[in-house]
Chain A
């Protein structure tokens, strides 16, 4: 049975997504060291105190904690999983429009939002290095707080499990896995 690794199953979104994978014949695991087809990071962590705008007394400790939780810890887990990835070898991370340099309306949560933006870059570089070895990548915004987690999970399931092709899948010979995209739960592409 193909296995799906989740970094965490705590959020409603993660639970709903895991349920969909199970219903479609996948086994869910939070253990490393076994063969997996999907690596799914569901971390969305904001440290206490990481809620200030400039001029309100930003916390260095809170910024670092948000970064470590959202970037260092998931990447450390990915480190442990790389060697065991098989099949689609698909690496999926959560991000948000709030971390889009072009669109972010945010004035608070520097650590959290900057950490997710960092992921956009590091996953692109990782993708560039690993695409030739068959690894594929997805970045997804579940629209937390503004979209029901069950619907976001349905959207994520389709986005994560489908292979990507040009021309709306009409021509299966032209795969389009080389471009990393950030898509939200409504299917919209978010610019970097």
Chain B
């Protein structure tokens, strides 16, 4: 085992997760990158330049995948400095609850549960599974990718309700983790990455949306590596460094 700082990044196949993993490697971290989507081989390509990148199969809805990843990190690093909980199902802007009364059933329970388990409940499950390793790490920092759509106060939308509700639930889950682990010295980041351009399997980016994953990852990594003057407030910050209300 070496003294390299170790991070786990979930949802690292593409987009923000991939860009965060790459940036952390550049910062000298050993990175365990959670892979879910076999269509994407960006991580395998990156591995050629960074021997400290380890790819782990990680469907965050699957507790067995989490345990296997924890066993591998235990074997190779014996500790974990930084957990980046980023994996998520994305929402469709056209899905509106108001569609229900227009004859389309909007609240599909199976889809709702899938969004909750992936985007929300996976976060406490990850912390629960990796906590013994995180307690051995020096940083004890937990980073969660949230969204501005999680803000009930700022909500003006009529669609994306599955994604929105899942991110509000995530924020509450992070609050509960904070209540347990902040007294132990753990520190927390809740991050709104902006409306990001979709990344295709060949690495190219869609023209729609406004933020490049690499740009958002730059700010995300700055926020995850810098200490704050006040770590005793749980705040949601965006890719421009602004604080958003819940």
Tell me if A46 is interfacial: C-beta within 8 Å of chain B. Answer: no
What would 27 A/B residue contacts be, using CB atoms closer than 8 Å? Answer: A53-B180, A54-B127, A54-B176, A63-B117, A63-B125, A64-B113, A71-B116, A72-B107, A72-B109, A73-B109, A79-B107, A83-B101, A114-B116, A114-B120, A117-B168, A121-B155, A121-B165, A122-B161, A125-B97, A125-B157, A125-B159, A125-B160, A129-B98, A130-B97, A130-B101, A180-B152, A192-B151
Q: Report the Cα distance A170→B41, complex, angstroms.
A: 64
Residues of A in contact, count (CB < 8 Å): 51
Chain A residues within CB distance 8 Å of chain B: 52-58, 60, 63-64, 67-68, 71-73, 75-76, 78-79, 82-83, 99-102, 104-108, 110-111, 113-115, 117-122, 124-126, 128-130, 133, 180, 191-192
**Helix, strand, loop or mixed for chain A's interface?**
helix
Among B121, B155, B166, which residue has its beta carbon within 8 angstroms of that of A128?
Answer: B155
Tell me if B131 is interfacial: C-beta within 8 Å of chain A. Answer: yes
Give chain A nearest CB distance to B85 CB in angstroms. 12
Give chain B nearest CB distance to A136 CB in angstroms. 14
Tell me if B167 is interfacial: C-beta within 8 Å of chain A. Answer: yes
Q: Report the Cα distance A29→B131, complex, angstroms.
A: 48
Tell me if B15 is interfacial: C-beta within 8 Å of chain A. Answer: no
Q: Is the CB of A113 within 8 A of B116?
A: no
A107 CB contacts on chain B under 8 angstroms:
176, 179-180
Q: Is the CB of B166 within 8 A of A101?
A: no
